[in-house]
Structure 1
């Protein structure tokens, strides 16, 4: 196998490799994510193949394999652009769900990171016309932002207006390893805070069944934006505050630690690189007696910004430092609660959709990973998707957290609660009897 160039992995790629190792159960397809992209009218399968070939040329992560994965120094190997033709899937005789089913079918292929390209893709046709490009990406080659970058590049290539090719993961890996002083500072930042993380949220070994549901709310976004403007904090921090308050209220706990998903794309050079840059940036929130909601939100905002700014680090080096210091629970990947603010989403839901009027249960994308994974997106409304385990929360708890977050945001905007403890998480929407069971 000819290799064009090779070198160490990035901190984000290493985090994916260690996540797969530590957050099982073994699931060879759990790291694959499906994507569905409509094609412009009149585009042919031949044109899509040409665009895909150019895409692979411009983005090395899409033709990278990995060696010595379990070692201290995994290696990424960039292969030449392969000569291939994307398969065509005709759905002329199939129903409306056929496109999404074709995309999810691609995720069922287990990928060997040592030998396989980290993606699968196909062109969808209906009645002789190419209508969609569907793909499945292993998380190591593209996080959410990376997949959006792929979609943008494909659209630009098909339109005949591509932007200059961007930076590559090997260049990021070299930059990260050259910044020795900064990396040492980040490692000690986390070590100094390690004992403050809630032990209850640090087991990382929950193997019970995961369920998943989505709630979509126009009032929640309006409320979050109002609080953001009033307090001069980000909408992201307001949503994170609501998540802490809802979870603590519903579980009766006084503190919680969330592993925030740091995008690590602050630099313009890395803003759209196709790779996985996400890493955990944990923080603890513990409302104090008598603390006002506004003060709590400001505290969460400041703490989260500090955590995000220290979100790029070598997880193996951090573990070694924590072991050397004899810290409890030194595995950096084993946090139970993840919070991922995914930003602007194109998805919206009509008022009659279950997600807009109650909660919409979905088949979980994976059964591995953290016990509590909350993704929040904005757009026309605010979208909350929560996947949680039976042991950590259970299906009633999932519905309670989702509806509780909506209620908390509305109360934060109203500003009537004297302190955090007085905020009511009672749902403002009715959970109907047909919306209380998860899809398995």
Structure 2
């Protein structure tokens, strides 16, 4: 039995509200930028399409955020409500059809850019991709209000369990989280605001009259397989996410000539049992100021522990934080460097072949959001995806940064230089 009547509404969690505030700032024609796209390989075996769709429906019943839509009040605040009450209803509203695996790339590009209106429909869509008529993959597009990168890994694991015939009970979801954040969790929100104010007050100023260049996009394919990357981080007694952040900071210092940088690492906000397995959007930014003078290998530990302390303040009221950030930047404060590690955990199925690195440059598809954004993506091998549209950066400077980052990663993890 589920915890609430389907017509009842509840406040949004701070994670959901954070995404909604970003969506509000997007021009209507760019609101597809709130979408995430994923392709799951089906487990080995023969899977009838009907079984796959039934597992999709069951997935929606296990995780409340996947059958949640949002009602926007007169005060501009979103409220969440369950918008489907059976697995069959979830299945039928999410199911988009079947296509050939050969169409995957074109479908990913097209469907990513088809907005999901989370106020009017369920926040995800699914397709089955076939090869020689047999199902091989599932393509998903999910509105970011429903899930983040970590949640997608949880969804994939539960989908495979449901596909194999397991019965999974309803999991803790964002309804319970929202009620907690209005009650016992409110003190944590106030502590986060204090951390933001202290950190931004000490942050550097933006260089005056820095020219604004064109939007830049690049992907650095490091060629380093994930098992090797995780082993290299373990040798330095830090997480892989912290090691990459240390590389990011070091390369920035060298390319810009400045020793102090404000970062906004993404906090997964999954540091305890109550949050670790919740499928919803928990990600929020946390401010981190770095000024370190140790040689690179020695600074990795300090980056790790400083980022860990900052990430504990990731659960915060987005409206309160927006006011703090706007005041900081209005006063000439540096807009910061954003960082989001989306890294599969050690032991996740992956290849182990080291390959040559490469640098791919392109105009970025997304033009809203952070002005300097590095996404560390690691499923089979480690890639760095970069979007830049902040003053003072040129394509040549970005090339120097990524070349240096690759060199540091190669020296630390055993890869190859560009």
Taking structure 1 as the reference length, the TM-score comes to 0.79
**Residue equivalent to 2:71:** 67
**Residue equivalent to 2:205:** 199
Q: Deviations over 1:153-172 (max 9, x none)?
A: 11111111244332110111
Q: 1:293 to 1:212 in 2, by over 3 A?
A: closer
Q: Deviations over 1:123-182 (max 9, x none)?
A: 223332222211101111111011111211111111112443321101111112212333
Q: Deviations over 1:43-100 (max 9, x none)?
A: 1221111111111112221122222278363211211243616233332xxxx64223
Q: CA deviation at 1:302?
A: 2.3
Is 2:133 aligned against 1:125?
no
- In 1, the alpha carbon distance for the partners of 2:182 and 2:262 equals 29
**Residue equivalent to 2:195:** 189
Q: Deviations over 1:16-52 (max 9, x none)?
A: 1122234769612111121111224321221111111
Query: How is 1:244-323 mapped onto 2 (pairs within 5 angstroms)?
Result: 244-288=249-293, 291-319=294-322, 322=324
Q: Deviations over 1:354-376 (max 9, x none)?
A: xx332234674522221222122
**Residue equivalent to 2:13:** 10
Unmatched 5+ stretches in structure 2: none
Q: Deviations over 1:211-249 (max 9, x none)?
A: 12132233998588556534x333322211110111221
**Residue equivalent to 2:57:** 53
Q: CA deviation at 1:349?
A: 8.9
- In 2, the alpha carbon distance for the partners of 1:20 and 1:198 equals 28
- In 2, the alpha carbon distance for the partners of 1:234 and 1:34 equals 26
Q: 1:32 to 1:357 in 2, by over 3 A?
A: same
Q: 1:223 to 1:156 in 2, by over 3 A?
A: closer
* More off after superposition, 158-167 vs 68-77: 68-77
**Residue equivalent to 2:145:** 140
Contact kept, 8 Å, 1:217 with 1:406, in 2: the verdict is no
* More off after superposition, 154-163 vs 76-85: 76-85
**Residue equivalent to 1:212:** 218
Q: CA deviation at 1:399?
A: 3.2
**Residue equivalent to 1:87:** 96
Q: Deviations over 1:159-210 (max 9, x none)?
A: 1124433211011111122123332222212222221233339x9xx89424
Q: 1:22 to 1:297 in 2, by over 3 A?
A: farther
Q: 1:350 to 1:388 in 2, by over 3 A?
A: farther
| C-alpha RMSD of matched pairs (Å) | 3.4
What is the total number of aligned residue pairs between the two structures?
400
Q: CA deviation at 1:327?
A: 4.6
Taking structure 2 as the reference length, the TM-score comes to 0.83
- In 1, the alpha carbon distance for the partners of 2:124 and 2:130 equals 20
Q: Deviations over 1:383-440 (max 9, x none)?
A: 32222238553433333322211222455689xxxxxxxxxxxx9634xxxxxxxxxx
**Residue equivalent to 2:162:** 157
- In 2, the alpha carbon distance for the partners of 1:318 and 1:211 equals 27
Contact kept, 8 Å, 1:24 with 1:369, in 2: the verdict is no
Q: 1:287 to 1:143 in 2, by over 3 A?
A: same
- In 2, the alpha carbon distance for the partners of 1:78 and 1:225 equals 42
Contact kept, 8 Å, 2:213 with 2:392, in 1: the verdict is no
Contact kept, 8 Å, 1:386 with 1:402, in 2: the verdict is no
